[in-house]
Amino acid sequence: MSARFTGRTVLVTGAGTGLGRAIALAFAAEGASVVAAGRSAGTLGETVALIEKEGGTAAAVIADVTRSDDVRDLVRATVDRFGGLDIAVNNAGILRGTVPVGEVSEEDWDAVLRTNVTGVWLAMKHQIAHMKENGGGSIVNISSNLGTHLRIPNLAAYITSKAAVTALTRAAALDHIHQGIRINAVSPGASVAPMSLRSGESEADRAERMKSQTPLGRAAEAAEVAAAVLYLASPDAGAAVGTDLVVDSGSSA
């Protein structure tokens, strides 16, 4: 295993489950000190325990990305714990309102946009404030193939939010590259993670559905999405600025 992130501090939001956990584990496996952030102490503790079991270094911090003070304190806690913040992965997101657009409740619409868009903006705002005073850094936002690249029925709030994340990423990348901050996005499709399961669907059911719904014939493994994130965060992607890297088994090709 490479040690390309040894000496680096990485902050991952939404790190308690699914893709966020896979991303946190992948960075730790390559030598990074990882702060796993989210709203559930229990799941974050599990992520940290998995990292430490493999000899990695990690800490859990409770934070709600929709609250500016929480995100400010999260960045401070990261810097206090590990001495800096080199890489941030803004992965926290929710999926609600899986009905036609005219039937989406105002509560669901507001919750999805607040978490998926405003949460990413607030996270970047405080991450950038630190990075621009400390030699730069790298930010990777987790968007989706649903939005800019692909639309399907009954997911209007989520699709709108993720299209906005892609646009926000590109705008922020242009605004802050001159400060040494590279900002990019990864847009997963269906992956082997809880969010891609339909109501009442088992993992076996999902695997069967993916055979006909993706050109590759399967969902992306969480580790494959994590690998894309690590690439964009690494020096190997030094010329990637405002990139939106799609990892969706060919669904939006």
* Domain count within the chain: 1
Report yes or no on 111 lying in a domain: yes
What SS3 class is residue 222? helix
Report yes or no on 152 lying in a domain: yes
Strands of the chain (E only): list them: 9-13, 33-38, 57-62, 87-90, 137-142, 181-188, 244-247
Q: What pLDDT does residue 213 have?
A: 84
Report yes or no on 2 lying in a domain: no
Radius of gyration of the chain (CA): 17
Query: Comparing 19-33, 85-99, 167-181, 208-222, which segment has the lowest mean pLDDT?
Result: 208-222
**Between 147 and 209, residue with greater pLDDT:** 147
Cα of 227 vs its chain's centroid, Å:
12
Q: What pLDDT does residue 1 have?
A: 57
Annotated catalytic residue within 158, 228, 229, 243: 158
Q: Which domain does 138 fall in, by range?
A: 9-242
Strands of 22-168 (E only): list them: 33-38, 57-62, 87-90, 137-142
Token look-up 């709108």 returns 160
- pLDDT (tens digit, 9 = 90+) per residue, 109-164? 999 999 999 999 999 999 999 999 999 999 999 999 999 999 999 999 999 999 99
Contact between 182 and 139 under an 8 Å Cβ cutoff? The reply is: yes
Top-ranked range on mean pLDDT: pick from 124-128, 189-193, 200-204: 124-128
What SS3 class is residue 108? helix
Report yes or no on 222 lying in a domain: yes
CATH (domain of 167): 3.40.50.720
- In the residue annotation, 158 being an active-site residue is answered as yes
- pLDDT (tens digit, 9 = 90+) per residue, 56-98? 999 999 999 999 999 999 999 999 999 999 999 999 999 998 9
71 Cβ contact partners less than 8 Å away, ≥ 6 residues apart: 63, 65, 122, 123, 125, 126
At residue 169, φ and ψ (nearest 5 deg) are -60, -45
Report yes or no on 252 lying in a domain: no
Task: Please give the mean pLDDT across all residues of the chain.
Answer: 95
Report yes or no on 154 lying in a domain: yes
